[in-house]
Each structure stands twice: as C-alpha cells, then as structure tokens.
Amino acid sequence: MKYKGSCHCGRVAFEVEGEIGTVIDCNCSMCQRKGALLWFVPRADLRLTTPEENSRAYTFNTHTIKHRFCPECGIHPYGEGADPQGNETAAINVRCLEGVDIGSLSVHHYDGRSH
C-alpha cells in the first residue's frame, strides 16, 4: 500500500510504500520527547515529494540516525539510518501518515533508553 505523509505545515512531504506491521514506541531521550510511533522500511521505499533541503537533520549519541524535522512547524515525520547489516532504512512516524488509524496498530514498546 502507498501512504502519503508530511509534517504539519506540508513543507516536508513524502510517500512510502509497504504494509504497516508492528510499530515501535521507543523510550530513548529523543523518541520519548517527540512521541513518535515508528514504522521501519527500506530507505528505497520512501520517496520525498518535497525537496530534501526543506527538512533539517538532528543527530545525537552515536550520530548514526538522522532525525528529520521541519524547521517551520517542528514536526519529525521520519528518520534515516542503517540496520545492523548496513542496509539503508527509514523510520516513518506513522502519526504523520494520512488515513492511518493509530488505535488499530500493534505497538512494540522498545527500551531505547537502556541501549
């Protein structure tokens, strides 16, 4: 299935292809503050529909994940990184997708604070 997503103001927008399975609710210092529910997909399945320059990236700790956010409205619609095997991945904030019933999703609580 193809989903459309964006930040609040629309300056950062994208499409992502796939089936949403379990989403991750991480309690690391970053994710807990932004309240994201994350769906991990291969980076190739994420297509930006606005210029990449419209977003900014924030990194911390090991600086391996680019937490993308809109400098205008402040929303974090996705992040970019790599899985343990080195494959490029995207972490989609499902709260930024159109037409997704958040209450129907299976949520895995990940203890990112301890990792």
The pLDDT tens digits of the residues spanning 48-83 come to 999 999 999 999 888 888 999 999 999 999 999 999
Q: Name the pairing type of β-strands 13-17 and 46-48.
A: antiparallel
User: What are the extents of the domains in the chain?
Assistant: 2-114
Q: Rounded to two decimals, what is the model's pTM?
A: 0.93
Q: What percent of the chain has pLDDT over 70?
A: 100
Q: Which fold has domain 2-114?
A: 2.170.150
> Rounded to 10 degrees, what is the CA torsion of 107, 94, 64, 29?
-60
